[in-house]
């Protein structure tokens, strides 16, 4: 079945770049997403990439997609303390009855 894997924790110093990685299993996924969850809040859509793209940049965020390796990454440039949150990778699989499949989330801690 579909599965989305992420490392659980990442710690970076303020001002450094953060790279959060994700692997997925469904090679026919059409969209891949990154959501951000701040403490005590719901999930906020951060960015997404269509499967025919390799890269998408939006201000401090860069999404890289390697379809051959089924690998998705989110790079946050100049990481700030306000970036501390849990980041979820999600895919829309082409099979099954689950509209979105989420990874377990990567908790990013930014050290001042």
Partner 1 sequence: NAGVTQTPKFQVLKTGQSMTLQCAQDMNHNSMYWYRQDPGMGLRLIYYSASEGTTDKGEVPNGYNVSRLNKREFSLRLESAAPSQTSVYFCASSPGETQYFGPGTRLLVL
Q: How far apart are CA 106 and CA 10, in angstroms?
A: 7
Q: For residues 18 and 87, which CB has a smaller minimum distance to partner 1 in the complex?
A: 87
Are 97 and 1 a contacting pair, CB within 8 Å?
Answer: no
Please tell me the count of residues contacting partner 1 according to CB under 8 A: 21
Here the tokens at position 45 are 């859509």
CB of 61 to partner 1, least distance (A): 16
CB of 15 to partner 1, least distance (A): 29
* Residues 13-72 within binding reach of partner 1 (CB under 8 A): 30-31, 33, 35, 41-45, 48
Among 80, 81, 98, 109, binds partner 1 (CB under 8 A): 98
Strands (DSSP E) contained in the chain are: 4-6, 9-13, 18-24, 31-37, 43-50, 55-58, 61-66, 71-76, 85-91, 101-102, 106-111
Can you give the binding site for partner 1, defined by CB under 8 A?
8, 30-31, 33, 35, 41-45, 48, 88, 92, 97-100, 102-105
């Amino acid at each position: 079945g579909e599965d989305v894997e992420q490392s659980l924790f990442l710690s970076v110093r303020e001002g450094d770049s953060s790279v959060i990685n994700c692997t997925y299993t469904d090679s026919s996924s059409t969209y891949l997403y990154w959501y951000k969850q701040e403490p005590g809040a719901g999930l906020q859509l951060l960015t997404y990439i269509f499967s025919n793209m390799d890269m998408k940049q939006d201000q401090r965020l860069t999404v890289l997609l390697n379809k051959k390796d089924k690998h998705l990454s989110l790079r946050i440039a100049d990481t700030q303390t306000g970036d501390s949150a849990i980041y979820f990778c999600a895919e829309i699989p082409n099979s099954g009855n689950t509209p979105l499949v989420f990874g377990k989330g990567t908790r990013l801690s930014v050290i001042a």
